[in-house]
Amino acid sequence: MAVNKNALIRYKTIDKCLQNNFRQWTLNDLIEACSDALYEYEGKDVDVSKRTVQLDIQMMRSDKLGYNAPIVVYDRKFYKYEDANYSITNSPISNQDLSKLSEAVSFLKQFQGFSHFAELGSMVQKLEDHVYTQQTHEKSLIDFEKNDNLKGLEFLDELYQFILKRQAIEMTYQSFKAIQESTFSFHPYLLKEFRNRWFVIGKRKSSEGIMNLALDRIISVEKSNKTFVADKSFNSETYYKQAIGVSVSPNMKPENVLLYVNHKQAPYVLTKPFHYSQKEVARDNYGVTISLDVQLNFELEKEILGLGEGIKVIAPERLKRNIKERLYDAVDAYETEINDKNLRTISKRLEYKGFGILNHVYSKRDIRKLKTKLDAYIKLNNEQVFGMREVLLKLPELKPIVFNKNFKKLIKSIDKDVFLTKAIYFDKSPKDNWYVTWHQDIPINVLKKAETKGFSAWTNKKGVVSVIPPEEISKNTFSMRIHLDDTTIKNGALKVIPGSHQKRLNTEEIKLITMNSIPFVSEVGSGGVQLLKPLLLHASSESKVQRRRRVLHLEFASIELPNGLEYAEKELL
């Protein structure tokens, strides 16, 4: 049965209304919705009568169009679908329509091979395969790339109509980086698909540049009252010519990119080029060198990274550096995994040996961020570089980096009730050559001095006094040294005497033990940590190389202080 355009618009509108279960729909509501839809699509008032909508509902209920829509009336005046998940868009194609589609496929296949119809090739195959499966009820013979769970596809038709009619829209959008959604006017020019993801290209304001917005991050779209702003300089056919993907910078010139692809991956790259500008410039027994003339963007990097070890950037240097850093960060993601076995081992080692080392707790990116923020603060405030106390109070922005997932797992595996009591930043510059001799530490900081019966082992640092007995300190406290640079014996790595943390030693005992013991040299890589128990005998050696050594020193406790004493820096973890 032939169906005119207005009738299809009304069927689609009624279907959309009845899918909305958050509202009750009377016949007058459906008439009004159909009138509004026809005005929006046709641009003029179209008289929709009560009789017309009643006939539409009757037609949708019947099998004449293959809908068999389960439309029911309740409370004698409201319409709804009996099946809340029903939609005419999910209905199977009627035999009559299948016949028409078969004729269309046969007609379109006659033009395959002509240059003007080259882009229709995959569309004809999709259509032919769909008709075949509907007619024969067999499984599909072609499996096209698709993502049925992709968000935002429901906006495709709406956005297409806005672009077609050159209408401004009011869009509510939330990017992945945004904390909350925002609503703004947008002037759409083009719909773009890349790697099975859809984008709408346009402008927010005439004074701003072209931007792309992903449909899967759109929350709502509706017509705006603002006048559509056209951009005469925007040419959809040439806009993406010098770039891969959707990230285009109109003022950025394309660069000559040289890539070396090994023999294993070369056939894939040569048969499916990255870009139309791709050329083979050299070949040897191990692979091929190709060139591209493209803008440097995120999508280009993603294509290169997708081939893993099978590809290498030769030029330009900026792209080579970016890919190299991202590969290092990718390896970091694996190396910074801490498993339960590692945690049990270091916890036992800390208890019995008095120390433990765990590398790759922080990624290289984390360490770069920490060093950048610390250096910027020191330069701005002209702080003393050697040792900065209360560093986390002065730079609270360091906390999210320091207190990462690995940090929390490590700390809680040692003592689930622990809290932070002190944070110091040490920076031993290449010019410094200081070192400390063998000694024991009692790492407790309190706000005031107070004599307490039964307590001893006083330590005075910067007017702050500890009054906790050594045996309690050793049981309930420990420190962590986060290394921001590689630390070796040549640039002052800490030396420790394993097991020396069991009691407080006098000067003669320290001398005797250190002269007759082989110390352990705590060499720790950048991003690694060293855990230390109080009273552990340790010393640092004189540097033999001019290499910077930066350390964040954190102290922890799970012991509460007597007589109302308070820690100088107490922070729950």
Sheet architecture: strand order including 520-522: 520-522, 494-496, 538-540
Q: What is the pLDDT of residues 114-156, one digit of tens each?
A: 455 555 555 555 666 666 665 566 665 556 566 666 788 888 8
Residue-wise burial string across 195-205, b where 16 or more C-beta atoms lie within 10 A, e elsewhere: eebbbbbbbee
Closest CA to 485 of 394, 396, 367: 367
Phi, psi (degrees; rounded to nearest 5) at 201:
-105, 135
Average pLDDT, the chain: 82
pTM of the complete model: 0.62
Per DSSP, the three-state class of 317 is helix
Q: Which of 560, 565, 551 is nearest to 522 (CA)?
A: 551
Instruction: Return d(Cα 360, Cα 396) in angstroms, integer.
Output: 23
pLDDT at 144: 58
Q: Do the beta carbons of residue 442 and residue 433 sit within 8 Å? A: no
Residue 141: predicted pLDDT = 57
**DSSP track, 40-90:** HHHSS-----HHHHHHHHHHHHSSSSS----EEEETTTEEEESSTT--GGG
User: Running DSSP on this structure, what letter comes out for residue 308?
Assistant: G
Residues 38 and 48: beta-carbon distance below 8 Å: yes
The CA distances from residue 527 to 218, 359, 423, 481, 493, in Å, are 39, 7, 17, 10, 15
Task: Answer left, alpha or beta for residue 335, where phi above 0 means left and psi between -120 and 50 means alpha.
Answer: alpha
pLDDT score, position 128: 61
In this prediction, residue 460 carries a pLDDT of 43
How, if at all, do strands 419-428 and 387-389 pair? antiparallel
Question: What tens digit of pLDDT does each residue of 356-394 get?
Answer: 999 999 999 999 999 999 999 988 887 666 788 889 999
pLDDT at 485: 92
Provide, for the chain, the percentages of residues in helix, strand and coil under a 3-state DSSP scheme, each rounded to the nearest 5.
35, 25, 40
Q: What are phi and psi of 433, to 5 degrees?
A: -140, 30
Q: pLDDT class for 39, splitting at 50, 70, 90?
A: confident
At CA 33, angle to CA 27 and CA 34, rounded to 5?
90
Task: Tell me what the mean pLDDT of segment 534-548 comes to.
Answer: 81
Instruction: State the pLDDT at residue 404.
Output: 92
Residue 218 sits at the vertex; the CA angle it makes with 217 and 223, to the nearest 5 degrees, is 165
What is the arithmetic mean of pLDDT over 525-554? 87
pLDDT in tens, 15-34: 989 988 888 999 999 999 88
What residues does 218 pair with on adjacent strands?
A: 173
What the chain holds in terms of domains, given with CATH numbers, is 5-90 (1.10.10), 95-136 (no CATH), 153-223 (2.30.30), 255-334 (no CATH), 340-572 (2.60.120.620)
pLDDT, residue 541, reads 73
Phi then psi dihedrals of residue 70, to 5 deg: -80, 60
pLDDT at position 7? 86
Q: How far is CA 408 from CA 88, 321, 346, in A?
A: 53, 32, 14
Residue-wise pLDDT tens digits, 265-317: 999 999 999 999 999 999 999 999 999 999 999 999 999 999 999 999 999 99
Asked if residues 326 and 354 have their Cβ atoms less than 8 Å apart, the reply is no
- How many degrees, rounded to 5, is the angle at CA 103 between CA 99 and CA 106? 135
Per-residue pLDDT at 448: 56
Cβ-based neighbours of 30, under 8 Å, separated by 6 or more: 13, 14, 17, 53, 57, 79
pLDDT of residue 151: 82
Q: How does pLDDT run across 400-454, given as a tens digit for each residue?
A: 999 999 999 999 999 888 888 889 998 877 666 667 789 888 765 555 555 554 4
pLDDT for res 459: 44
Answer whether residue 319 shows pLDDT above 60.
yes
Q: How many CA atoms lie within 13 A of 450 on its CB side?
A: 14
User: How many angstroms separate the CA atoms of 346 and 222, rounded?
Assistant: 58
372 vs 107, more confident? 372
Pick the range with the lowest mean pLDDT from 4-8, 331-335, 526-530: 4-8
- Kindly report which listed range (296-305, 488-497, 555-564) carries the lowest average pLDDT score: 555-564
pLDDT value at 489 more than 90 = no
Q: Which comes out higher in pLDDT, residue 456 or 568? A: 568
- Using CA atoms, how far residue 143 sits from 122, 139, 158, 354, in Å, is 12, 10, 27, 61
**How far apart (Å, rounded) are the C-alpha atoms in residues 45 and 23?**
25
For residue 530, CA distances in Å to 422, 511, 537 come to 16, 24, 14
How far is it, in rounded angstroms, from Cα 116 to Cα 124? 14
Closest C-alpha among 179, 184, 173, 269 to residue 217: 173
pLDDT, one tens digit per residue, over 47-82 is 889 999 999 999 889 887 778 889 999 988 899 999
Report whether pLDDT(455) > 50. no
Using the predicted structure, report yes or no on whether residue 157 has a pLDDT greater than 90: no
Alpha-helix runs per DSSP H in 336-363: 340-353
Q: What is the pLDDT of residue 279?
A: 94
pLDDT tens digits, 215-268: 989 999 999 999 998 888 888 888 889 999 888 888 889 999 999 999 999 999
Under 8 Å between Cβ of 35 and 46: yes
- The long-range contacts involving 278-287, CB below 8 angstroms and separated by at least 24 positions, are 286/262, 287/260, 287/261, 287/262, 287/263
